[in-house]
Structure 1
């Protein structure tokens, strides 16, 4: 078992034991203490049951995954903090006393609130996971060959076929893609959530998508959890055109179009992945080029190499966001949702970062799942632009500046 997995499980065990201890000290009465003990045991059984089921090769119901993730990844640490604060405020001298009814109700709410929130959030998330937004967006691409005016590129990403994305929703994703009348369908990684037993359903989805010039895919980090070689072999064996550091030379409306597909690479490895792709595929002079990558920071490398359009995913639009673009998305990524345009050093390079159409976590806020049809235009409105601070990682002087949407409706704004 990897060290980081052991560390995470140890942290979960430690926080769970601490929550149990603190909650037991705060509640009054035998029934309340038994309820705390039962919930603590239930969550530990749930977490380790999910892990054991995965190791045994089968999947527990979605509610079990969702409840375990919502509690351990989001609410457990804040719940421990709240209980510690409440216990400190109550003071040790109150341990043997019977609190007044109002105070007792408040302490009960502090103990019961996070578990109730986890249950409600999971229920909402399970309903939400069955839906996605299908929308069309006109994208002004400087230097687009005139013959490609109106080219329809459907961008799909992060289906995470598995616990939360399965069954009828996959058919509806395929139907949404086919409803756009695509010239190209581009899938930018995380076909499955983790288990390779779900590859068949994921490939069935991609095979059901229709396009005049093909359906092309790249891999994501979740796809490789059970091995890169096994994933690539099975996906290709099922007829999916998977690009791993390679390209495809297409001719669309008489215009050469080169697709570049990068293997999954983390931030520091993206340059190497792009260079390997270019070495293995000779870009044709004058060809319109589209780069497909899972990690959005591939935009920096592709734009610097003169690629006019990069399609990526991975971020889920920040997954749990607040209004106004506040949340994990911009904290973790330079490009996290929507459309970005470089302004330096070579103006005009574009990236589209998909929110993804599936889920690995059972709740989204202000980051809706989506399938987007990009209608390429040679020119179009500049749109509104507003300043943002630079994201972490490579500086803008080295990579240039960009304008970005970062919002579900893909309306542009500026990021440095």
Structure 2
């Protein structure tokens, strides 16, 4: 209860402060009342959804995600506005103090707010506010196909031109538009890839979240099959289960559901993809993550019966596994496929110019292709979304990777 009181008090104080700037910028009372009404509705809905609106067994329902999203947009608007207003207030305070000490009247008088600065503050603050709302409305389903060509000296000849489609982080419990998901499934199939690889987080928490979408995902096609691994959310670790048996059943249900949808789920094991006499090893490990995330991945077990010199593609959900373990392993993993970061669902990307997201402060390898010690990783930006029900600048991704042998290019 105390944390709610503190949070609401801070939110109201900030809103009142922003309202003063709004009054300086606009003389129309209806604008002020509109801001007050929206502020109260946003905080009221957030409190309701995260208290009385709690759904048993789910960390974030769709309604709760939207409540969080609207609150995030409002906070972004307020904080940007405050930066300008507070800077001006410091100037006003200094000016008033100066007049008190050196002025003729020796009276302390704070200059009025300048309407131009208030308008500029509100105008700039509307940019992140509008972007976050757009991300919730359109951005989260703004699917992009990103294509990469990777060359290797030791790729088996028969696999020159072999095409892989990778998707990751479906988070089906967050979906709210069947038509958009159907479009994305068709977009994946249009790539006509040889193999489809899914790198974890099929659900937010519970296997039942995937059931309304299972028919659509069953329609995914690839010539040599569909393969998957588990991500940190697939284990149900973020739910208060009534018993350990219920949690174990949920995980088993999810594994079975993936297999029913046609995925070959790799649990610290491998498969060989073959073309004539040539083959490449496809390796899948369970989740291994740094900093408190589950470490069920067992790389040694997964490669225990494959040849050290085989060409290897590794599926591992969390890119920190690649950084901390894989690239330093005695085996050479030519290509690792990961996800997990979502690119934080927020950032700026202009190919060839800028690639930035706050998630870079947590993950060194957070989106796209990287190379270290002659080994590649692709960190997929994610198919779905979690928490904030949108995406801004970091769009949902379908990765298409073509393997090429250098001597044949």
> Which residue of structure 2 lines up, in the alignment, with residue 85 of structure 1?
87
The Cα of 1:196 is off from its aligned counterpart by 5.1
Deviations 1:353-372 (A, max 9, x none): 1122233342322x332212
Partner of 1:283: 305
Equivalent in the alignment of 1:349: 375
- CA offsets 1:144-164 (integer angstroms, 9 cap, x no match): 222322222111112333445
Q: How does 1:172-251 map to 2 (within 5 A)?
A: 172-193=183-204, 197-223=208-234, 224=236, 225-226=238-239, 229=248, 231-240=250-259, 241=263, 243=265, 245-251=267-273
Alignment of 1:64-213 (within 5 A): 64=67, 66-72=69-75, 74-91=76-93, 99=112, 103-104=114-115, 106-107=117-118, 110=121, 114=125, 117-119=128-130, 121-123=132-134, 125-163=136-174, 166-193=177-204, 197-213=208-224
Q: Secondary structure at the match of 1:325?
A: strand
Structure 2 unaligned residues grouped into runs of 5+: 97-107, 242-246
**Cα distance in structure 1, aligned partners of 2:177 and 2:81:** 32
TM-score normalized by structure 1? Answer: 0.73
Q: Could you tell me which residue of structure 2 aligns to residue 376 of structure 1? A: 403
Aligned to 2:100: none
Match of 2:244 in 1: none
Number of equivalences: 368
Secondary structure in structure 2 of the residue aligned to 1:155:
strand
Q: Which residue of 2 aligns with 1:393?
A: none
- Which whole-Å deviations, capped at 9, do the CAs of 1:170-220 have from their partners, x for residues lacking one? 212221222222222111123234565422245444322112332122233
Long gaps (5+) in structure 1: 383-416
For residue 408 of structure 1, what is the aligned residue in structure 2?
none
* Aligned residues: CA RMSD: 3.9
> 5 Å matches for 1:236-275?
236-240=255-259, 241=263, 243=265, 245-253=267-275, 254-268=277-291, 273-274=296-297
Higher Cα Rg, which structure: 2
Deviations 1:10-43 (A, max 9, x none): 7753541331232345454875654443233222
Query: SS of the counterpart of 2:172?
Result: coil
Please give the alpha-carbon distance, in whole angstroms, between the structure 2 residues aligned to 1:235 and 1:349.
32
1:59 aligns with 2:62: yes
Q: Could you list the runs of 4 or more consecutive aligned residues of structure 1 that deviate by over 6 angstroms after TM superposition?
A: 95-98
> Which fold has the larger relative contact order, with Cα–Cα distance below 8 Å and residues 6 or more apart in sequence?
2
Q: 1:269 to 1:123 in 2, by over 3 A?
A: closer
**Alignment check: 8 A CA contact 1:22 1:87 kept:** no
The two structures have a TM-score, normalised by structure 2, of 0.74
